Amino acid sequence: SHSINLAVIPGDGIGQEVVAQGLKVLAAVLPQDVKLETEEYDFGARRYHATGETLTDADLESLKKHDAILLGAIGDPSVPSGVLERGFLLKLRFAFDHHVNLRPSKLLPGVATPLAGQPEIDFVVVREGTEGPYTGNGGTIRKGTAHEVATEVSVNTAFGVERVVRDAFARAQARPRKKLTLVHKNNVLTFAGHLWTDTFDRVAQEFPEVTTDYLHVDAATIFLVTDPARFDVIVTDNLFGDIITDLAAAVSGGIGVAASGNINPSRDFPSMFEPVHGSAPDIAGQGKADPTATVLSVALLLRHLGHEAEAARVEAAVEADLTERGAAVRTTDEIGDALAARVAS
Ligand code: IPM
Ligand code: MN
């Protein structure tokens, strides 16, 4: 396509600063004949305080017309916990059916890891994004009493599990090592666990070149620390994926470099790309935030829209920049400028 119509949601805190760098790099990497149009949206804490709104039906209608969404970070200590999480981020993921939550982990040269030695880390987690315990399917009775009973039901549909498992197999098939690990807890969560395992085994028949593996989620956390090289592609449910991708980020350079895509592969709705980190209000406005995670999210965005060559250029620029950066401390803007210069040349 010869134009990109992008919704930009800087959001709160450092979201503003890092998104500016992401846009700088995006503008620099696109060829002359690809027209970039952007429209900025003011979602987040300020809008919530001013209007009480997080994300309205009208907002969703406007967002729908874009090719993709670039999000900085949403969240502020002045807003009660859960309001923006459910009212904005999860609402958007569910409304646009972002069922593939893609979170690559690659330990890049020059990047520190708390693990011993310099392990090879290059895997991608395909986290289911629209089901599991995130659906809000639960309730409480006898609230506030000593006999309160609260449930939070994990929803797993054959349709939802199969489409994300299939997506993960296709991604594994396209990678050199062609290995896919299912992470679940089917020794305890027998209903959902068996749906996942049976679906995984069935879809595997269609991908004979892909080596398959299964790990319980607790064991997976051990291997993410002791032997991360064993992973190539991981597929897992929404909550397990939330937890293991924070661990994955921690061992592969930290949240300063962790990128993510909330993807609807059908392109019926725009996919959304965001750094895994939050709004970091403690360092907001000081030029201290590392925009690398946002820039790598821009690479995922470019790849999703079919601009593979440009995505690869952005990733190569980040790799070169990190190698050269070493221990030097640079501002958010300086890093963005350096990356933009690299992708343009
Ligand atoms: C993430 C976040 C969200 C999640 C929260 C903020 C709702 O932790 O993107 O990983 O749990 O998905
Ligand atoms: Mn998370």
288 labeled binding residue: yes
Q: How many helices (H) and strands (E) does the chain have?
A: 12, 12
- Spatial neighbors of 231 by CB under 8 A, at least 6 apart, are 123, 179, 181, 223, 224
239 within 8 A of 189, measured Cβ to Cβ: no
Tokens for 255?
């949240």
Enter the ipTM. 0.99
Q: 113-252 — its CATH code?
A: 3.40.718.10
Please tell me the CATH superfamily of domain 1-108+260-345, with its number: Isopropylmalate Dehydrogenase (3.40.718.10)
Q: What is the pLDDT of residue 288?
A: 96
Mean pLDDT of 238-264: 96
Q: What is the pLDDT of residue 1?
A: 55
For ligand 1, is residue 290 a contact (CB within 6 Å)? no
15 labeled binding residue: no
Helix axis angle for 238-251 and 217-226, nearest 10°, is 10
Q: What is the pLDDT of residue 110?
A: 85
pLDDT in tens, 71-104: 999 999 999 999 999 999 999 999 999 999 999 9
pLDDT in tens, 33-63: 999 999 999 999 999 999 999 999 999 999 9
Mean pLDDT of 244-261: 95
pLDDT higher at 109 or 231: 231
Ligand 1, atom 7: closest residue by C-alpha: 85
Backbone phi and psi for residue 143, each to the nearest 5 degrees, phi listed first:
-60, 135
Structure confidence at residue 2 as a pLDDT band (50, 70, 90): confident
> What's the CA gap between 258 and 271, in Å, rounded?
17
Q: What is the pLDDT of residue 109?
A: 87
Q: What is the pLDDT of residue 250?
A: 96
242 labeled binding residue: yes
Give me the residues paired with residue 259 across strands: 275
For ligand 1, is residue 152 a contact (CB within 6 Å)? no
Ligand 1, atom 11: closest residue by C-alpha: 242
Give the number of the ligand closest to the Cα of residue 275: 1
Q: What is the pLDDT of residue 345?
A: 75
Q: What is the pLDDT of residue 265?
A: 95
The reply to whether domains 1-108+260-345 and 113-252 share a CATH topology is: yes
> What's the CA gap between 150 and 235, in Å, rounded?
28
280 labeled binding residue: yes
Ligand 1, atom 10: closest residue by C-alpha: 242
Active site residues: 134, 185, 218, 242, 246
For ligand 1, is residue 255 a contact (CB within 6 Å)? no
* H/E run at residue 205: none
Domain boundaries, the chain: 1-108+260-345, 113-252
Name the residue with tokens 């004949």: 33
- Spatial neighbors of 52 by CB under 8 A, at least 6 apart, are none
In order of 46, 80, 82, 141, the CA distances from 150 in angstroms are 32, 21, 17, 7
Counted residue by residue, the chain has a size of: 345
> What's the CA gap between 75 and 53, in Å, rounded?
14
For ligand 1, is residue 89 a contact (CB within 6 Å)? yes
Give the number of the ligand closest to the Cα of residue 85: 1
Tokens for 212?
């398959």
What is the CA(242)–ligand 1 centre distance, in A?
7
For the chain, what percent of residues have pLDDT higher than 90? 94
- Spatial neighbors of 247 by CB under 8 A, at least 6 apart, are 221, 224, 225
For ligand 1, is residue 242 a contact (CB within 6 Å)? yes
- The ligand 1 atom at the shortest distance from the C-alpha of residue 90 is 7
Give the number of the ligand closest to the Cα of residue 276: 1
Mean pLDDT of 293-305: 98
Ligand 1, atom 9: closest residue by C-alpha: 276
280 within 8 A of 289, measured Cβ to Cβ: yes
> What's the CA gap between 84 and 89, in Å, rounded?
7
Mean pLDDT of 248-261: 95
Give me the residues paired with residue 132 across strands: 155
